[in-house]
């Protein structure tokens, strides 16, 4: 299906008819926010699922210290010792196979798709030049929201990167063909894989470990070691020691997290600024950018709007899971068998990370789109669509709730829960998202933060109450 045909169908389908209430309706070159009945429901549902899934991964950071990315090592409650070790291991396997990086990747893909949809509607109405100004303000305010979120609420903010990529890269890419966008996105993910492994010093560690192995062979053979070889051994000992978990440091971090909001504010704000500076300086934002470009391609192909044949989605799901699933089943098993040795984690878990992000995210999206196309559970999917429509508000609400639960509120559960128990908190927050979002949308047009964002973007207060 061609790009022009796909977009024409979006703009003329029953749910997105061009009439007096359409997003770009009114005099030529007048642009207004999209109305609820013009939304593409499949994308809202996907966005809702992705946002809820992201919490499973972010919970690791909210809930306690951790020495390696999303692996429960260096945590306050040992994950792989005691009566719940196997339950924790099952939770870890499931998270990495079905959720880790994939839900965030899907969310980023949908952000990129939204750029194509938003600008295509404007240009179809002849408001392209005005849309450029609105697009600029939209992403500048998103950057500002990200800075506020990261500084005052949670240092793991992602909004800044979304706004940054939108400002710097996505607008000029909106006209590219789907194939070009897909290829460019994959190149970006390949680049960030190399950058990430360099950040972990993985390449140096692998090289050093091979040298140490050769030196050990010389020792067993009775050969005299040179000063250079002894220096290599000392370097390796220092690197191994760097990955040894210090219980005193873990407990110190837990104690610091229990001091309250004002104590957190300065340090977390500085951590956020340093983190963003590193991401921009090292080019790590290519991960989000790559996923966004792939999302733009998937939208132009009709994939995200559920326009493809059911059998096509089935084939895509099978291929995607056939690639991403075995990689992490084998990888997690290798990691567990090695006692989560850091070099094994680099090789089997972090090396394929961004590749499985793409294949796994697309496979999950394909399964959800098959369910949507079947229409079998339409009522059950409505709360997920509501979460997707109010994604920005839910994202910020989740940060606030988690910080209150783990750090600032009366409970102060930071470092107090076992790994499997984090899922109880996840389910409780999911329940809030899935119940509150539909109730809110019964009375209001937008989520509260979405309303603020749109009002700032269009520089005009938007109607908040739901119109009959």
Please give the share of the chain, as a percent, with pLDDT higher than 70: 91
Q: pTM of the predicted model, to two decimals?
A: 0.90
CA dihedral (11, 17, 18, 21) positive or negative? negative
Residue range 84-116, pLDDT digits in tens: 999 999 999 999 999 999 999 999 999 999 999
For residue 249, give the nearest of 106, 109, 66, 30 by alpha carbon.
Answer: 66
Identify whether the C-beta of residue 64 lies closer than 8 Å to the C-beta of residue 414. Answer: yes
CA-to-CA dists, residue 330 to 99, 197, 252, 317, 347, angstroms: 16, 20, 35, 19, 11
29: left (phi over 0), alpha (psi -120 to 50) or beta: left
First to last CA, the chain: 37
Residues 263 and 185: their CA atoms lie apart, in Å, by: 40
Among 64-73, 125-134, 254-263, 291-300, which stretch is predicted with the lowest mean pLDDT?
125-134
Q: Which class for 296: exposed (0-12), middle (13-18), buried (19 or more C-beta within 10 A)?
A: buried
Who wins on pLDDT, 168 or 8?
168
Q: Sign of dihedral through CA atoms 431, 437, 442, 444? A: positive
Decide if 390 contacts 446 (C-beta within 8 A): yes
Give phi and psi for 84, each to the nearest 5: -105, 15
Model confidence at 25: pLDDT above 80: no
| Lowest-pLDDT choice from 55-59, 129-133, 375-379 | 129-133
Q: Is 40 helix (H, G, I), strand (E, B) or coil?
A: coil
- 234: tokens are 């000392």
pLDDT at 9: 43
The contacts of residue 127 (CB under 8 Å, 6+ apart) are: 24, 28, 29, 30, 31
Q: In the predicted model, is pLDDT for residue 403 greater than 70?
A: yes
pLDDT at 24 over 60: no
Question: What is residue 205's predicted lDDT score, i.e. its pLDDT?
Answer: 87
Residue 7 has pLDDT above 50, yes or no: no
Tokens representing 160 are 């800044």
Q: How far apart are CA 437 and CA 393, in angstroms?
A: 9
Which residue did the predictor score with more confidence, 126 or 8? Answer: 126
Mean confidence (pLDDT) of the chain: 89
Whole-number pLDDT of residue 37: 60
What is the percent of the chain with per-residue pLDDT over 90, rounded to a whole number?
Answer: 72
List all residues 6 or more positions away from 408 whose beta carbon is below 8 Å from its beta carbon: 260, 261, 264
Residues 6+ apart with CB under 8 A from 437: 383, 386, 387, 389, 390, 394, 447
Helix/strand/coil for 465: strand
Average pLDDT over residues 352-379: 95
pLDDT of residue 288: 94
3-state helix, strand and coil shares in percent for the chain, rounded to the nearest 5: 75, 0, 25
How far apart CA 155 and CA 149 sit, in angstroms, is 8
Q: Are 149 and 396 in contact (CB under 8 A)?
A: yes
Three-class DSSP category at 71: strand
Interatomic CA distance for residues 75 and 123, integer angstroms: 51
For 234-263, give the DSSP string. Answer: HHHHHHHHHTS--HHHHHHHHHHHTT-HHH
Compare 121 and 446 and report the one with higher pLDDT.
446
Q: Taking 70 as the threshold, does the pLDDT of residue 427 lie above it?
A: yes
H-helix segments, 404-467: 422-443, 448-458
pLDDT in tens, 164-210: 999 999 999 999 999 999 999 999 998 888 877 777 777 788 889 99
Instruction: Give the pLDDT mean for 402-417.
Output: 96
Concatenated DSSP letters for 111-134?
HHHHHHHHHHHHHHTT-HHHHHHH
Residue 196 has what pLDDT?
Answer: 77
């Amino acid at each position: 299906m061609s790009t022009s045909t796909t977009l024409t169908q979006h703009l003329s389908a029953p749910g997105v008819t061009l009439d007096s209430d359409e997003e770009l309706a009114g005099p030529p070159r007048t642009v207004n926010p999209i109305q609820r009945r013009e939304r593409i429901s499949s994308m809202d549902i996907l966005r809702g699922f992705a946002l809820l899934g992201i919490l499973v991964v972010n919970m690791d950071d909210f809930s306690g210290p951790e020495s390696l990315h999303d692996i429960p090592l260096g945590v306050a409650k040992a994950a792989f010792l005691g009566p719940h070790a196997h339950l924790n291991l099952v939770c870890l396997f499931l998270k990495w196979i079905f959720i880790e990086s994939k839900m965030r990747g899907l969310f980023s893909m949908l952000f990129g798709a939204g750029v194509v949809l938003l600008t295509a509607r404007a240009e179809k109405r002849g408001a392209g030049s005005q849309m450029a100004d609105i697009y600029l303000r939209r992403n500048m305010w998103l950057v500002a929201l990200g800075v506020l979120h990261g500084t005052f609420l949670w240092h793991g903010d992602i909004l800044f990167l979304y706004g940054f990529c939108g400002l710097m890269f996505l607008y000029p890419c909106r006209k590219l063909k789907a194939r070009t966008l897909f290829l460019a996105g994959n190149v970006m993910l390949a680049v960030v894989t190399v950058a990430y492994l360099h950040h972990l010093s993985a390449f140096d560690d692998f090289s050093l470990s091979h040298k140490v192995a050769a030196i050990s062979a010389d020792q067993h053979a009775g050969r005299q070691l040179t000063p250079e070889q002894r220096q290599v051994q000392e370097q390796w000992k220092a690197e191994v020691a760097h990955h040894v978990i210090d219980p005193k440091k873990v407990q110190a971090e837990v104690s610091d997290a229990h001091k309250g909001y004002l104590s957190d504010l300065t340090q977390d704000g500085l951590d956020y600024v340093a983190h963003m500076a590193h991401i921009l300086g090292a080019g790590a934002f290519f991960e989000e950018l790559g996923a966004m470009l792939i999302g733009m391609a998937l939208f132009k192909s009709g994939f995200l709007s559920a326009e493809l044949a059911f059998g096509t989605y089935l084939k895509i799901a099978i291929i995607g899971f056939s690639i991403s699933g075995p990689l992490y089943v084998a990888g997690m098993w290798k990691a567990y068998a090695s006692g989560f040795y850091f070099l094994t984690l680099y090789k089997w878990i972090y090396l394929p990370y961004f590749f499985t992000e793409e294949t796994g995210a697309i496979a999950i999206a394909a399964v959800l789109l098959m369910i949507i196309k079947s229409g079998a559970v339409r009522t059950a999917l409505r709360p997920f669509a509501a979460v997707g429509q109010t994604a920005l508000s839910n994202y910020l609400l989740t940060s606030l709730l988690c910080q209150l639960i783990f750090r600032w509120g009366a409970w102060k559960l930071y470092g107090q829960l076992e790994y499997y128990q984090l899922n109880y908190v996840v389910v409780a927050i999911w329940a809030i998202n899935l119940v509150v979002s539909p109730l809110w949308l019964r009375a209001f047009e937008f989520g509260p933060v979405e309303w603020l964002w749109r009002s700032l973007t269009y520089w005009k207060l938007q109607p908040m109450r739901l119109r009959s």
